[in-house]
């Protein structure tokens, strides 16, 4: 029996014995409201679930205007093959009917889950500034921050921080550069972004961790052995600015498996709901690596009526391959989740293929033209009928080696030219808006006047 076969059997046994433990797992949720977006997340990595149309609500801070959702759901999709061809896949659509592949918490050594670590830490820049002014004030959001070496953590949560060689956990400013979070000596939470100094924070940040070791009742694939430490944050700027209309996500994906996986894809599923989600179109901008959804006509009945915004997602950073290079190849394809019945279906979509394995056009970059230009390829030029639109954007293929740590970074933004703008007006500024969203990322989220 070879190593791959042994580990596959171990994974199957682990899923079987974990079923009872995970049957009682209840996720916790929190809502980010740092700017003009009110967005809900759950501790197993499910984004924007809530209510009939989801909870990516805008404009959350504009007096007198109703809050309307732009997305119903979003979540990670991952897939790859072991040396024997076994498919490892994990998918997060809706958490419906007890179906899930992701679970709250972290993974200890030997892929042992630590389900007690089911939390979402929430901190604001106001709390951080107050702590910097007086570290002895013991602000709970600061002193309970789930950062490595925090001796105060147990006092707030009643269980201990996990520890392994990979678990640096939540980012922090290390006052004495000793690798331990000591808020009593001035340490405080910061954004943790590869290649950037640990010194910046958002107006509000949520931090939580989840993993895929457990029964895969959604995709049916084997676990990858992936732990995902997640930062979800927003920055408060004047109403109407692009930065005020975006939430950023940093997924840190830690491969805790001991086997390599080939032909891997990292992706994000998105259920777009531009107000009334029954009359939408989708598209992408390959040059900017931006995907978007917009109303299929000028009236969003029962939603934004005659002023529907655009929802756009910037794929700011993709995974790293075995050569240490960021993966350039990416796909954006529509999803008909009613026909997802097997793990190969999820994997085919991640790879830019239809469910039957045949490739989508344009190497899986669908509707890659400007919808305002009739000679470009869009849903409009194809003569499609507006309707519900779900899609997956993915990077790959790559080889995932044991211990690999990757970052997948996205910016979710709503785009509106002015309060009275129609679909064409808002589509016309998607590029400039997402350039600003990416510009802040390129400066490590270092805000400056203007």
Least confident of 2-6, 18-22, 87-91, 251-255: 2-6
Calpha distance 123→203 (Å, rounded): 8
What are 419-444's pLDDT values in tens digits?
888 899 999 999 999 999 999 999 99
Full-model pTM: 0.93
Mean pLDDT score across all residues of the chain: 91
51 pLDDT band, cuts 50/70/90, is: confident
What is the average per-residue pLDDT within 386-403?
97
Residue 63 burial (CB count, 10 A): 6
Least confident of 97-106, 129-138, 416-425: 416-425
What is the average per-residue pLDDT within 290-294?
98
4 pLDDT band, cuts 50/70/90, is: very low
Least confident of 38-42, 167-171, 211-215, 267-271: 167-171
Contact 217, 100 (CB under 8 A): yes
Angular region, 111: left φ>0, alpha ψ -120 to 50, beta rest: left
Residue 9 burial (CB count, 10 A): 11
Least confident of 18-22, 322-326, 435-439: 18-22
233: β partners:
205, 248
60-66: long-range contacts, CB 8 A cutoff, minimum separation 24: 60/33, 60/35, 60/36, 61/33, 61/35, 61/36, 61/239, 62/36, 62/239
Tell me, what's the pLDDT at 288?
98
Tell me, what's the pLDDT at 61?
63
The 3-state DSSP class for residue 435 equals helix
What are 173-226's pLDDT values in tens digits?
988 888 899 999 999 999 999 999 988 889 999 999 999 999 999 999 999 999
Tell me, what's the pLDDT at 419?
81
Tokens (6 digits) for 434: 């997402």
Residue 111 exposure: Cα atoms within 13 Å on the Cβ side? 23
The 3-state DSSP class for residue 136 equals helix
């Amino acid at each position: 029996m070879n190593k791959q076969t042994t580990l596959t059997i171990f994974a199957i046994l682990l899923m079987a014995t974990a079923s009872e433990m995970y049957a009682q797992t209840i996720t916790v949720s929190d809502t980010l409201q740092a700017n003009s977006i009110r967005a809900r997340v759950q501790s197993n990595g499910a984004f924007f679930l809530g209510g009939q149309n989801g909870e990516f609500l805008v404009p959350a801070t504009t007096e007198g205007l109703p809050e309307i959702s732009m997305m119903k759901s979003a979540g990670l999709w991952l897939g790859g093959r072991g040396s024997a061809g076994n498919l490892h896949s994990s998918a997060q659509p809706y958490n419906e009917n007890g179906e899930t592949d992701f679970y709250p918490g972290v993974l200890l050594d030997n892929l042992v889950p630590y389900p007690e670590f089911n939390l979402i830490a929430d901190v604001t820049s106001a709390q951080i500034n107050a702590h910097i002014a007086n570290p002895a004030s013991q602000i709970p959001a600061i002193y309970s921050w789930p950062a490595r070496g925090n001796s105060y953590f147990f006092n707030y949560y009643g269980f201990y921080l996990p520890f392994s060689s990979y678990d640096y956990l939540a980012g922090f400013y290390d006052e004495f550069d000793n690798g331990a979070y000591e808020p009593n000596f001035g340490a405080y939470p910061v954004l943790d972004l590869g290649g950037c100094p640990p010194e910046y924070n958002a107006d509000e940040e949520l931090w939580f961790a989840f993993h895929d070791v457990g029964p895969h009742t959604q995709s049916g694939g084997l676990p990858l052995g992936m732990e995902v430490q997640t930062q979800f944050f927003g920055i408060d700027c004047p109403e109407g600015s692009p930065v005020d209309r975006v939430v950023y996500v940093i997924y840190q994906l830690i491969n805790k498996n001991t086997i390599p996986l080939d032909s891997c894809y990292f992706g994000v599923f998105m259920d777009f709901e531009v107000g009334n989600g029954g009359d939408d179109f989708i598209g992408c901008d390959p040059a900017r690596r931006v995907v978007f959804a917009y109303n299929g006509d000028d009236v969003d009945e029962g939603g934004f009526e005659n002023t529907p915004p655009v929802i756009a997602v910037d794929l700011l950073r993709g995974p790293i391959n075995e050569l240490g290079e960021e993966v350039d190849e990416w796909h954006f394809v529509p999803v008909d989740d009613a026909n997802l019945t097997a793990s190969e279906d999820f994997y085919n979509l991640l790879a830019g293929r239809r469910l039957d394995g045949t490739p989508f056009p344009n190497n899986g970059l669908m509707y890659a033209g400007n919808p305002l230009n009739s000679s470009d390829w869009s849903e409009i030029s194809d003569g499609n009928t507006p309707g519900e639109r779900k899609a997956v954007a993915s990077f790959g293929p790559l080889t995932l080696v044991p211990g690999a740590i990757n970052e997948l970074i996205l910016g979710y933004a709503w785009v509106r030219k002015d309060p009275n703008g129609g679909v064409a007006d808002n589509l016309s500024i998607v590029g400039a808006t997402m350039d600003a969203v990416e510009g802040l990322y390129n400066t490590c989220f270092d805000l400056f006047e203007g």
